[in-house]
Copies of this chain bind each other. A is one copy, B any other.
């Protein structure tokens, strides 16, 4: 059965208004064209053994993002709202800036409200005031980390109150920048909007520093995060190398997916052992991490371990708590490893110098580097094009180098993870030369 239709984007209604942006409708005049809903890209392009090109076609098509010739909303009567939710990620301000400028300069939408501190900003009990946004007050924000709107976790279940608030504010263009949990809320908000017969497009811009979004080549902030993690890893390497039996241990983000750890290792060459959630490992035994660690310290006098926060959860006592966004709270693998390593080497009576680095906030709060800045600028403007065209319950993202629309409902079904059999993990192993397997089975 063909899966062609699974990436169908929901639409508030037919587009009848001429876009104010003077693009072209013909090729060859050296002026960019409007994008039509028929323009798509192939989702699956990977001819692995056993697949035919027909299977690729059956993999489905993703709708291209971009400015439409006919739009759904009258910009003159539009009121846009932007909200950022969840943890910080480099590039948030860049996205906000791009959304505001595209609304203002391209579509002449001049009523733009920043919702303060995530979904809290919609809830009366917090008594927070919206922030009027315009090109002037967002002009320099792309050079700053964080979000000028403020952010918070949680409250994503209070859909009715949020939609009440949207009604009260008369918002018809809602941009929600946030992760997994937040986008689940976006979808529910979009459903509630439709249920009430309202005309509000809900467009999500996915934010996950972990780069674990399905159908998404990479998420904004990820490359910046890696470049900052490389600096922390370098410090660990320097500390390790400067000590006799020096051992550097760095914990990076990655609750369920080891992309930051894997990419950091490949970018820097300073890690000898990379531990990620997708690849199980044991501490003890002949083929456990500690035996390999000891061996490396004896051979090379120093070693560096890079661990993703979600790695090795099975090795630790259970935590049953969740944070306010509903994410399962992880036990702290960094602190755990530090203690266990110290214990192990004390037991075998081998003196080591262990330095543990947890650079988390320094990474998250960083301003975005150039490649993320460019990405955020384009994500933001494409989100505006989508919203004006009446698309709703969709995300704007990048797939196979093209900006596309994704139905939120599909994206939040799971998480993108590092495939241990992929070329990415293969290349990490080639770089670190760590054992292909660190279990005793």
Secondary structure of the A side of the interface? mixed
List CB contacts (< 8 Å) of A392-439 with chain B: 400-403, 420-423, 425-427, 429-431, 433, 436-437
Q: Which residues of B contact A425 (CB under 8 A)?
A: 32
B146, B151, B246, B431: the one within 8 Å of A377 (CB): B431
In the complex the two chains form, is A381's CB within 8 Å of B430's CB?
Answer: yes
Measuring CB to CB, which residues of chain A are less than 8 angstroms from any residue of chain B? 22-24, 27-33, 35-36, 38-42, 45-49, 53, 56-57, 61, 66-67, 88, 97, 101-102, 105-106, 116-117, 120, 126, 128, 140, 142-147, 150-152, 217, 223, 226-227, 230-232, 234-236, 238-239, 241-244, 246, 263-264, 266-269, 279, 353, 355, 357-359, 361-362, 364-366, 369-371, 373-374, 377-378, 381, 400-403, 420-423, 425-427, 429-431, 433, 436-437
List the number of copies, as a whole number.
4
In the complex the two chains form, is B30's CB within 8 Å of A369's CB?
Answer: no
Q: How far is the CB of A329 from chain B (nearest CB, A)?
A: 16
Q: Which residues of B contact A47 (CB under 8 A)?
A: 38-42, 61
Q: How far is the CB of A201 from chain B (nearest CB, A)?
A: 20
Q: How far is the CB of A133 from chain B (nearest CB, A)?
A: 16
A280 nearest CB neighbor, chain B only: B30
In the complex the two chains form, is B46's CB within 8 Å of A402's CB?
Answer: yes
In the complex the two chains form, is A30's CB within 8 Å of B437's CB?
Answer: yes
Q: How far is the CA of A48 from the CA of B39 in the complex (A)?
A: 5
In the complex the two chains form, is B24's CB within 8 Å of A238's CB?
Answer: no
Q: Which residues of B contact A374 (CB under 8 A)?
A: 226, 263, 266-267
In the complex the two chains form, is A145's CB within 8 Å of B42's CB?
Answer: no
Q: How far is the CA of A48 from the CA of B36 in the complex (A)?
A: 9
4 nearest CB pairs, A to B: A32-B426, A227-B370, A146-B242, A146-B238
B42, B403, B437: the one within 8 Å of A45 (CB): B42
In the complex the two chains form, is B421's CB within 8 Å of A31's CB?
Answer: yes
Q: How far is the CA of A363 from the CA of B269 in the complex (A)?
A: 20
